Amino acid sequence: MANQISIGEPAPGCKKVDPILVANKVTRVFGGLTAVDVEHMEIPRGLITALIGPNGAGKTTMFNLLTGFDKPNTGEWTFDGKNLANVSSYKVARMGMIRTFQLTKALSLLTVIDNMRLGDQKNPGEGFFQAFLRPVWKKHEAKITLKADELLKRFKLDAKREDYAAALSGGQRKLLEMARALMSDPKLVMLDEPMAGVNPALTQSLLEHIKGLKENGTTVLFVEHDMHMVRHISDWVIVMAEGKVVAEGPPADVMKNPAVIDAYLGAHANSDLGDIDINSAAKETN
């Protein structure tokens, strides 16, 4: 499997057969702390890639940099062959790279269906002057509403259609955020800890949805703490620690990699990876 994804043996920063996102020499310094120092990173197209690492490894910072929500000190990256460094976040989204947030950002005082409609990027009615000309956007609005309803059904939120997003539970908000991201048919979906704070039953359905994305041809990159989850759904795992990529490869191989065990798992290497408390493991490695 490794041979189909990477060129040559999997190693930190290895080249991929068909990368969708290529980052080079990306660094981000906060005061004296180098949060991100990635020499080279490639994300394979059409697959599910997990970005894992202990707390403070720089995963979310890397996400923010890649999506234009933060500016790097050095570095550049391309998405689908287009240079993305110093491109503002909304333009990144318009290119087909949509992210979600670790702390869910449902638009609380908008209804669920309005949240979904906002995910569309081609609505002519969002222009100021067209806004008055209902005939201009009526048809498009009906089309995206239909699409939104289909997505809501898929994510089992159709019963909540007319509710304010604030009335949803934490897990449902995660689902809504993911469904909203799909409204624009993105090429790459970046999920920042999609499973954090979600109960086990809902986690299962979230995992199914992530797999469903891949089946529809969407590339997925997600950040996760929990190695157990990662093992089940990802095709490729990139491990970060202290801002650097320390290992990557297919999930089964990465778990055996001594660098990962060192940086991430410490003394608990032999226990079930899903059960250990990662925070305490990370402390012990420090």
Partner 1 sequence: MDWLNALNLTFGEFIGAYTAAYVLCALGLAVHFGFTGLLNFGQAAFAALGAYGYSIATLSFGWPWYSSVLFGLLCSAAFAVVLGIPTLRLRADYLAIVTIAAAQALKFAVSASIFENVTGGSNGLSQFGDSFYALNPIPKGRYDFGVFALSENELFIRIVAWSLIILIAVFLFFLTRSPWGRVLKGIREDEDAVRSLGKNVFSYKLQSMIVGGSIASLGGMVFVMSSQTNQPSNWGTNFTFMLWTILLLGGAATILGPIVGGMVFFGLLMFLQSVMEGLVNMGWLPFLDIAQVGQIRFLLVGVALMLLVIFRPQGIFGNKKELQFNG
Residues that bind partner 1 (CB under 8 A): 67, 69, 89-91, 93-94, 98-101, 105-110, 114, 117-119, 121, 123, 125-128, 130-132, 134, 137, 141, 164, 166-167, 177, 180-181, 183-184
Q: Considering beta carbons, is residue 96 or 243 the nearer one to partner 1?
A: 96
Residues in the chain, overall count: 286
Min CB(89)–partner 1 separation in Å: 5
Q: Considering beta carbons, is residue 66 or 247 the nearer one to partner 1?
A: 66
Min CB(87)–partner 1 separation in Å: 12
Task: Please name the helix (run of DSSP H) or strand (run of DSSP E) that holds residue 258, with its range, or none.
Answer: helix 258-260
Q: Considering beta carbons, is residue 107 or 269 the nearer one to partner 1?
A: 107
Min CB(179)–partner 1 separation in Å: 12
Q: Considering beta carbons, is residue 210 or 260 the nearer one to partner 1?
A: 210
Please give the full DSSP string across 43-85, using - where no structure is assigned: EETTSEEEEE-STTSSHHHHHHHHTTSS--SEEEEEETTEE-T
Task: Give the contacts of 187 (CB within 8 A, at least 6 positions apart).
Answer: 20, 80, 95, 96, 97, 218, 219
Q: Considering beta carbons, is residue 166 or 252 the nearer one to partner 1?
A: 166
Going by the DSSP 8-state scheme, the letter that residue 164 receives in this structure is B
Min CB(284)–partner 1 separation in Å: 35
Are 6 and 49 a contacting pair, CB within 8 Å?
Answer: no
Q: How many CB atoms lie within 10 A of CB 90?
A: 9
Q: Considering beta carbons, is residue 112 or 245 the nearer one to partner 1?
A: 112
Min CB(68)–partner 1 separation in Å: 9
Strands (E), 163-283: 188-192, 219-224, 236-241, 244-249
In angstroms, the CA 261 to CA 263 distance is: 6
Min CB(190)–partner 1 separation in Å: 9
